[in-house]
Structure 1
Amino acid sequence: MKEIPQKKSLKLIFLSSWMLLAPLIGSVTLTGLLMSFEAQIANFDLVTWILFCLLSILTIALALTPTTLIAIAMGYFLGWIALPIIIACYQIASLIGYQLAKVVDDGFIATWIADKPKVKLFLEKLHQNETESIILARISPILPFAIMNVVLALARVSLQRFFWAGLVGMLPRTLLSIITGIGLSSLQAYIATGQSPAYQQYILLALLLVSILGFIKIFRSKTTA
């Protein structure tokens, strides 16, 4: 087995730590801001909302904020107007994340997985089933948006399919988040308690099952073929 040079090993540790810690830090920070400035945010003008959206694109792309929290917040403050806005934010953020993954990787991951056949096989199967894999990855409520940007980029899925299949896969989660945001009587109370409506939990469970069963079908069909 080839040893990973120390510089590249540190790079892998940094990227892994970032993907794990950045969303947690970002979520805590965003939650605190939403709770502290709910009244002020409700009075944002058009220019301020544009700046908020631009900032959200950057934080989503860099794995600093979860897409669900952004969508719920925008649904709460803007209602259904938020739907096309958040979809645009998701798509632009996903493209940035896709390109960043390739730039940061620079062939490193490909070299690293050469000695890891299971990881290599996993990425190859994602590549062979691009459209289905992208949709299922986006539908799943437990697969982080930013991490899947990296995984799908490393699986060499085409940019066109990454964009359109990702849009289809994100729609159910986005709609659910917007509906949840619209239905909240108090954003601060929701964030403080962490309690979501029962229907949201059932829908998230259904999306999770669809994602899991879909991936099982893909990998079993290719294995037994």
Structure 2
Amino acid sequence: MIIVPLAATSFLSVFFVKNEETFLAYSTFEWLSFSAAGIFTQAFALTPPTFVALVLSYFWGWKTLPVLFIINLLAIYLINIIVKMLDHERFVGFLENNPKAQKLMKSIRKEEVKIISLAKLSPVLPFTFTNFVFTLSGAKLRNILLGGFLGMIPRTVMSVWAGTQAKEIRKLLEDPNRNNTQQILVIALIIISAFGLIYVINKAVKRVTD
């Protein structure tokens, strides 16, 4: 979940830098077709949503915002399907045998939308892994999609803004948080997500144990 995205994004960064002029000449249809690949790269943990948002917004501007939301939601849906195709019951059984994991799973089911939204708010929590866990927890698909959408709004908007402000894609991909304002916002999202998750999960665990 860490090594694969790092290797993939490094390769893709070089690819986009070398072919910047080609992508700048893309038509709307070509961009929409190319964007579809983001559904699979995010679902299979090849690229994080932030990377996809930075690249698409650099080349396509604010027009890419609704496309990114669609990509994210379809990637979440695809992960949900993949997890259920696997030995779903075996994974759940393994987690249920761990008391701490069992409490976490039950707490997620108690506050599905809140916990999912807060998890998606954090830029540091892996996209594929969190969706994998939410599906295993038994959370309803509509709540996973709703929570995922609400939680990713700030991150996506921030990434698109960064992409539209960049002058060179090389500098953007090497240091996406070079702007002080954006660095502050990233830290704020992490703090809000962390404290929010601790509060909501603790509250849900108390309900489960009472």
Give the TM interval when normalised to the shorter protein.
over 0.9
Q: 2:110 & 2:155 partners in 1: Cα distance?
A: 25
- State the percentage of identical aligned residues: 27
SS in 2 for 1:65: coil
Inter-CA distance 222–167: structure 2 relative to 1 (3 Å threshold)? closer
1:50-70 deviation per Cα after TM superposition (whole angstroms, max 9, x unaligned): 221111111111111111011
Structure 2 residue 62 is the aligned partner of structure 1 residue 62 = no
1:42-84 deviation per Cα after TM superposition (whole angstroms, max 9, x unaligned): 1112332122111111111111111101101111111110101
Instruction: Give 1:106 shift.
Output: 2.5
Instruction: Give 1:87 shift.
Output: 0.9
Instruction: Give 1:93 shift.
Output: 0.9
Instruction: Give 1:166 shift.
Output: 1.2
Question: Which residue type is aligned with residue 12 of structure 2?
Answer: L
Inter-CA distance 125–223: structure 2 relative to 1 (3 Å threshold)? closer
Report the equivalent of 1:190.
172
1:86-133 deviation per Cα after TM superposition (whole angstroms, max 9, x unaligned): 111111111101221222243121121233111121121111110101
- The normalised TM-score by structure 2 is 0.92
Structure 2 residue 186 is the aligned partner of structure 1 residue 210 = no
Question: Which residue type is aligned with residue 140 of structure 2?
Answer: S
List structure 1 runs of 4+ shifted beyond 3 angstroms.
192-195, 222-225
Q: 2:102 & 2:205 partners in 1: Cα distance?
A: 14
Say how many residue pairs are matched. Answer: 207
- The normalised TM-score by structure 1 is 0.86
Question: Which residue type is aligned with residue 165 of structure 2?
Answer: G
1:138-182 deviation per Cα after TM superposition (whole angstroms, max 9, x unaligned): 101111111111011011111111112211111000000000000
- Structure 2: tracts of 5 or more residues without a match: none
Report the equivalent of 1:22.
4
